[in-house]
Amino acid sequence: MSAQQHEEAHTGPIKTPGQVMWVSIAAFVLPVFIIIGLVFFVVADKKPAAGATNMERAVTERLQKVGTVEIRDANRPLKSGEAVYQAQCVACHGAGLAGAPKFGDAGAWAARIKTGFDSLVNSALKGKGAMAAQGGGEHNDTEIARAVAYLANAAGGKFTEPAAPAAAK
C-alpha cells in the first residue's frame, strides 16, 4: 500500500494528452500573442504624446527660444536708494527674515559697515547667505548700490549714494 501512495504523491495535474496540448498552448503560444499585441500598441500612431492634447501647442513649446530679450530705456532716471529698498529689499530687511539685518539696526549693521561700501555692494549684487544675487534684476547695479548706501546709512554708515554713470560720448 505504501508503494501505491508513493506513486500518487508524484503525479501531476496533467493526466491526458488533451491537457498537455492546452497547457502547451497556454504556456508558449499565448505569451507570444500577448507580446505581439503589446508591440502593436506601442508603435501605433494614433496616440497623443504624453501630456499633450494639443499637438500644435506642444510643438510650439518645444521650439520656443531659450532666452528672451527685454528692451529698456537706458536713459531713464535712476531710482533712489529708498525707492529700490521699498521695491525690493524691504521684504527681508524690514522684518529681518532669514538672518537679514533689519533696517536701522546699528548693532547688526556695524560689522558689515566696517567691511566697506564696495564689499557690501558686492554682497548685494552676487548674493550672500540666504540673500539671492540682486544683479541683473529689475534694478541696475547703480540702483542696487544706492539701496545699499541707504540701508547702511540708516544704521549709522556714512556712505554717499553713487551718482549716475556719465553718458558715453
Domain boundaries, the chain: 1-69, 81-154
CATH architecture assignment, domain 81-154: Orthogonal Bundle (1.10)
Of the candidates 91, 166, 167, 88, the one whose C-alpha atom is nearest the C-alpha of residue 125 is 88
What distance, in Å, lies between the first and last C-alpha atoms of the chain?
A: 117
For 74-126, the pLDDT digits (tens) are 777 888 888 888 888 888 888 887 788 888 888 888 888 888 888 888 888 88
Write out the DSSP string of 46-104. Answer: TSPPTT-S-HHHHHHHHTS-S-------TTSPPPPHHHHIIIIIHHHHTTTGGGPPPTT
Of the candidates 83, 89, 70, 103, the one whose C-alpha atom is nearest the C-alpha of residue 132 is 89
C-beta neighbour count of 100 within 10 angstroms: 19
For 57-71, the pLDDT digits (tens) are 778 877 887 777 777
36 has pLDDT over 90: yes
Residue appearing with cell numbers 500577448: 34
7-16, 55-64, 106-115, 159-168 — most confident range: 106-115
Categorize the per-residue pLDDT at 132 as very low, low, confident or very high, splitting at 50, 70 and 90.
confident
